[in-house]
Amino acid sequence: MELIKVKNYSEMSRIAANILSAQVILFPESVLGLSTGDTPIGMYKQLIEWNDKGDLSFSKVKTFNLDEYIGLSKEHGKSYSFFMWNAFFSKININKKNTYIPNGLAKNIQRVCKKYDEDIKKSGGIDLQVLGLGVNGHIGFNEPNAYFKRNTHKVNLSESTLRANSRFFDSKEEIPNSAITMGMGTIMQAKRILLLCTGKEKSEILYKVLFGDIDPRIPGSILQLHKQATIVADEDALSVIKSNGLL
């Protein structure tokens, strides 16, 4: 694992955008794994700017998002599909048919999950997977568990995730309690992984993820086994690691 230490959110976003754009410039047909949430917004903004200027093109890129809530339509303002179109896809020159996000309204969720992994495989696998980190250590929606679940699957969201995500919803009742997520096998098969981490509230879990045991109760810890994982973390997120004398 390679750790890139940065000052703050805006530096993290710029470095992340640099890594992602290097991938796309070198390999215009790249398959990108993308994430939602607060963490990657700055990176998306920077990429939009470079795309506007003509320095970067997404015309041949394919994307697979990590996850989607079950029960929300694509048009629902809180769905991850809506997030991606609102924050990124509608502002760049990507081809709609090259953007994949699990359908959280499908009748047969199991079939959707199976097809998602098949589509990733058919595309040649993910070249660069962008990840954020949950306060409980989740990546995608792979919640703390007794084991690492391999494939794309349905997951019941943990109390901690529901609490963390309540900031995006008007009331607690509105938050879907289940989701579709890429599995750990799917994520770990990505050729390169880019984990972004910002803020004090992630500092304890980032310490466990990077320096603790590889433990499915801390899902992100599995990234220690990935050969091409890059972590871009800011000073706040690195504060516990630093106070433990590891920086």
Residue closer to ligand F6R, measured from CB, 57 or 168: 168
Q: Is 204 a catalytic residue?
A: no
Question: What one-character DSSP code corresponds to residue 231?
Answer: E
Residue from the set 12, 21, 67, 98 that interacts with ligand F6R by CB under 6 A? 67
Residue from the set 132, 137, 176, 220 that interacts with ligand F6R by CB under 6 A? 132
Q: What residue ranges in 52-152 does DSSP mark as E strands? A: 62-65, 67-69, 99-100, 128-131
Q: Are 89 and 98 in contact (CB under 8 A)?
A: no
Q: Is 136 a catalytic residue?
A: yes
Q: Nearest distance from residue 157's CB to ligand F6R, in Å? A: 10
Residue from the set 13, 21, 30, 35 that interacts with ligand F6R by CB under 6 A? 35
39 binds ligand F6R (CB under 6 A): yes
Residues 175-214 that bind ligand F6R (CB under 6 A): none
139 binds ligand F6R (CB under 6 A): yes
2-6 vs 229-234, strand pairing mode: parallel
Q: Are 82 and 74 in contact (CB under 8 A)?
A: yes
Dihedral angle, C-alpha 27, 29, 31, 32, nearest 10 °? 70
- Whole-angstrom CA distances from 185 to 46, 121, 148, 157 are 30, 12, 8, 19
Task: Find the radius of gyration of the CA atoms of the chain.
Answer: 17
Q: Is 67 a catalytic residue?
A: yes
Instruction: Give the interface segment with ligand F6R, choosing from 7-15, 31-39, 112-120, 151-159 (CB under 6 A).
Output: 31-39
153 binds ligand F6R (CB under 6 A): no
CA–CA dist 239, 148 (Å, integer): 28
Give residue 9's region: left, alpha or beta (phi > 0; psi -120 to 50).
alpha
Q: Which residues pair with 107 in a beta bridge?
A: none
Residue closer to ligand F6R, measured from CB, 60 or 163: 163
Q: Which of 65, 138, 142, 234 is catalytic?
A: 138
Q: Nearest distance from residue 61's CB to ligand F6R, in Å? A: 18
70 binds ligand F6R (CB under 6 A): no
159 binds ligand F6R (CB under 6 A): no
Q: Is 226 a catalytic residue?
A: no
Q: Which of 117, 127, 143, 236 is catalytic?
A: 143
Which amino acids are annotated catalytic? 67, 136, 138, 143
Residues that bind ligand F6R (CB under 6 A): 35-39, 66-67, 132-134, 138-141
